[in-house]
Structure 1
Amino acid sequence: MFDGPTTNGYPIRRNDLKLATYEHNGQVRCGAVKNGRLVDLTDEFGSVKAILEGGDSAIQRAEAAVAEASDTTPESEVRYRPPVLNPNKLLCLAGNYQSHVEEGGGYFPGKEKTWPRVFMKPPSTTIIGDGDNIVLPQNAQKIDWECELAVVIGKHARFVEPSEGLGCVAGYTVLIDVSERSLKVPDAREDRDGDNWFDWLNGKWFDSFAPCGPVLALKDEIPDPHALSIKLRVSGDTKQDGNTGQMTYSVGELVSWISELVTLEPGDIIATGTLAGVGATTGDFLKGGDNVEGEIEGIGVLKNPVVSG
């Protein structure tokens, strides 16, 4: 648990420090980003995931290494990879913003009458990094975007209370939940009860459908995860523009709920859902040649070109 100064229950920002996985001179490295430059922490820690597994003491050692570092690399010379390579779990929220539920014609009965809807994506094949291609598969037609605040877990968590949820968080990053809206596999089948739900779920699983990054902002750099502007642009056109304060279930509540279902581990990612502005509402979907940018205040801009597979 963070034991430094807080405001309204949230840690006060200490410095502008973020963790990153990046490629430099053909090698994948882990490090910290400060003032637009990277400090290589690979020799001491090996990976961002290892830093998270080391808990607060490892993060403090990383901060000390950054403060003492004289050899740094400018961001312009590196290529960012997903902040956490090979997380054990990628859990996602469906319908955690009332505006998104209602724009699609859904009914929102109120928080007191609902519960979080959680699904998973296969992390090893869906997660890509900043600058990587979102690949439109040949068997998909309506590819949509969803910009989301992603929570990165920092400690093992099982049956934690909502008030304890934030204490299990290491930091935050940007995730785009790319989704195929019209999938029906196989096309000439006889529908059964529940088939449409599985179509919806399977449409989340295509390779490259979870861009993530560019960096991991440590939790003490984000005083309140529920007060961040969040935007998504497609080829320069703003499609989503809102605030994480609009989410129905808070970060602490989500961590608590999921910890009742499965043990959360350091490096696990929880994508907290998206706001209004998805393409399904207007019939405007991604196409080859588009460029997608997801931006969240205090974290950065995640940029991914779109190509046809």
Structure 2
Amino acid sequence: MRLARFSIPGSPIRIGRVDGDTLTDVSDAPDGQGGAIGTSLRAILPRLAALREAIESAVGTTHALTDVRLEAPIDDPQKFLGIGMNYKEHAEEAAAAGIPTPTSQLWFNKQVSCIVGPFDDIHKPLVSDALDYEIELAVVIGTECRHVAVEDARSVIAGYLVANDVSVRDWLQKRSPTFTLGKSFDTHGPIGPWLTTDDEIDDPLALRMRLTVNGEVRQDFQTNDMIYDIYEQIAYLTQVMTLKPGDILATGTPAGIGAPTGSFLRVGDVVRAEIQELGAIENTVIAEPVPTPAAR
């Protein structure tokens, strides 16, 4: 299944099933417990298998995708985590730029307040000219889990998203060595366009991912270039913490980021990130609004 959160003018956000170029509202489908599916995708993830029949057979209002606003599929995760330098060629280009290759998995937080929808604008910060892009396969956890073995890790995955791990390089490498600040500026976590459930994907480690800026290809790789695959990532993290339904793991970016050549994003740039079988997100860079005195 492909499940989206969407809105239309004058109406609240709803959940829809995506079939080709159309979206069917499934928010009022029965949840098997005397209620309805509702409007929180994160809330239904633990029961997604049980709800599949109701969602697939729902006959709610149908919309053309072009007539709705797609929202972030998961807007309220407890965690939004990312792994650094997890693609072989990306680690090589980072090393050439003076960034050492980590000897183990290198994880950081993206604060959840950075999340925006798949076609929302992203801000060029007032405080930096070093705005960069990173296409990433994002994994969404479906089952609360701890101490997961590598061979069992796929069983806790609800599905996948396309993510752009937008990064502010000078804050990332110089002003905040933990990565958190440079990865967490408002609007710097576009995800979507919908959640593609795990059963739809034969092999998430064999997907082509492609990012363009104003139509120019900047990143074009397969997910099989990961140093630590997504199952190893889940096993590693769950040695430390409990992962909860809706938690998002950004699993690394391939070579081609802007930092090594200084090809940073500018106001007006259009960034499109597409992953095979998952769809595409597209975001325009705009200037961060100048705060009014009252908002400071």
Q: TM-score, normalised by structure 1?
A: 0.85
What's 1:288 paired with?
A: 267
Compute the displacement of 1:126 (Å). 0.4
How far 1:276 sits from its partner (Å)?
A: 0.2
Residue aligning to 1:308: 287
Equivalent runs, 1:66-215 vs 2, <5 Å? 69=59, 71-104=61-94, 105=96, 106=99, 108=101, 114-123=103-112, 125-183=113-171, 197-198=177-178, 200-215=179-194
Deviations 1:7-47 (A, max 9, x none): xxxxxxxxxx3010011233211111012111112122112
- Tell me how far 1:228 sits from its aligned partner: 0.3
Residues 225 and 121 (structure 1 numbering): CA distance in 2 closer, same or farther, change over 3 Å? same
Deviations 1:107-147 (A, max 9, x none): 558xxxx3211111111x20100221101111112000000
Provide the residue aligned with 2:33 in structure 1.
Answer: none
- CA distance in structure 2 between the partners assigned to 1:208 and 1:196 by the alignment: 18
- In structure 2, the residue matched to 1:18 is 2
Give 3-state SS (helix, strand or coil) of 1:182's partner.
Answer: helix
SS where residue 45 of structure 1 aligns?
A: coil
Give the alignment's Cα RMSD to 1 decimal.
1.8
> Is the alpha carbon distance of 1:293 and 1:195 closer, same or farther for their aligned partners in structure 2, counting shifts above 3 Å?
closer
1:28-70 alpha-carbon deviations (Å, 9 max, x no partner): 11111012111112122112112213241123432233xxx26
Q: Which runs of 5+ in 1 are unaligned?
A: 1-16, 186-193
Aligned length: 276
State the alpha-carbon separation in 2 of the partners of residues 126 and 107 from structure 1: 27
**2:214 counterpart residue number:** 235
Counterpart CA distance in 1 for 2:54 and 2:130 is: 46
1:263-300 CA deviation, whole Å, 9 max, x = no partner? 11111100000000000011110010001100000011
1:267 paired with 2:246, answer yes
Other structure's SS at 2:277 match: coil
8 Å contact 1:242–1:275 — kept in the other structure?
yes
The residue matched to 1:263 in structure 2 has which SS? coil
Q: Does 1:45 align with 2:37?
A: yes
Aligned-partner Cα distance in 2 for 1:87–1:273: 19
Q: Do the aligned partners of residues 184 and 19 (structure 1) sit closer, same or farther apart at CA in structure 2, a change above 3 Å counting?
A: closer
* Alpha carbons 2:111, 2:180 under 8 Å: kept: no
Q: 2:54 aligns with which of 45, 56, 61?
A: 61
The whole-number CA distance in structure 1 between the counterparts of 2:234 and 2:24 is 31
SS state at 1:304 partner = strand
Counterpart residue identity of residue 28, structure 1: I
* C-alpha contact 1:52 1:267 (8 A) present in aligned 2: yes
Q: Distance in 1 between matches of 2:165 and 2:86?
A: 13
One-letter amino acid matched to 2:128 = A
> 1:52·1:59 contact (CA, 8 Å) conserved in 2?
no
Percent identity between matched residues is 38
Q: Any gaps of 5 or more consecutive residues in structure 2? A: 29-35, 289-296
Shift of 1:184: 8.3
Residue of structure 1 in register with 2:293 after alignment: none
